[in-house]
Structure 1
Amino acid sequence: MDKLINKYNVSISRGLIGAVILGVGFFLATNEINSFFTALSPYSLMISGLIAFIVTFGTSGIKDLFSKPSDPNGNIKNFFKYITLTAVLGFAASIFLQYVLKFHLAANPESGNIMSIILNIPFMLLGEELISFYILLVLANLIYRKTTNQKQAEIIGIIFSCIIFGLLHFSTYYNGNPMTTLAHILLIQGSARIAFNLSGLKSNTIIMPLIIHIIYDLIFLSFS
Structure 2
Amino acid sequence: MNSLYDRRPISTLTVIIGIFLILIAYVGLVYASLPFSFTFIALAGVIALYLNYGTYGIKSAFSPLQKGAIKFILIGYIWNAVQSSLVAVVITYGFDFPVAANGAANIFVDNTPAQFIYNAIDIIFSLIGEECFVLIPSILAIYFLKKHRVNEKRSMIIVTIIGAFFFGLAHYSTYNGNLVQIFFVIGLARLPLNWVAFKANSLWASSITHILFDFTPFIAALLFSVLR
Matched, 1:79 2:73: yes
C-alpha distance in 1 between matches for 2:203 and 2:17: 21
C-alpha distance in 2 between matches for 1:187 and 1:10: 36
Write out the 4+ residue segments of structure 1 that deviate beyond 6 Å after TM superposition.
none
The aligned counterpart of 1:204 is 201
* TM-score (norm: length of structure 1): 0.88
The aligned counterpart of 1:3 is 3
The aligned counterpart of 2:29 is 29
2:180 to 177, 183, 187: 183
Contact 2:10 2:51 in 1 (8 A): no
1:133 to 119, 131, 135: 135
Matched, 1:54 2:67: no
SS at match of 1:107: coil
- Cα distance 1:103–1:223, how it changes in 2: closer, same or farther (>3 A)? farther
Cα distance, 1:127 vs. partner? 0.6
Q: Count matched residues.
A: 213
Cα distance, 1:10 vs. partner? 6.1
Q: Deviations over 1:64-120 (max 9, x none)?
A: 00112236xx22221211111111111111111111111122222111223552232
Q: Which amino acid aligns with 1:123?
A: F
User: Which 5+ residue runs of structure 2 have no aligned equivalent?
Assistant: 222-228
Q: Which amino acid aligns with 1:133?
A: L
- Percent of paired sites with the same residue: 26
Alignment of 1:36-47 (within 5 A): 38-47=34-43
The aligned counterpart of 1:89 is 83
C-alpha distance in 1 between matches for 2:90 and 2:124: 30
C-alpha distance in 2 between matches for 1:12 and 1:157: 18
C-alpha distance in 2 between matches for 1:196 and 1:10: 27
C-alpha distance in 2 between matches for 1:153 and 1:165: 18
- Cα distance 1:150–1:11, how it changes in 2: closer, same or farther (>3 A)? farther
Cα distance, 1:146 vs. partner? 1.1
Cα distance, 1:11 vs. partner? 4.3
Contact 1:135 1:160 in 2 (8 A): no
Cα distance, 1:194 vs. partner? 1.0
Q: Which amino acid aligns with 1:145?
A: K
The aligned counterpart of 1:122 is 124
Cα distance, 1:40 vs. partner? 2.4
* TM-score (norm: length of structure 2): 0.87
The aligned counterpart of 1:163 is 165
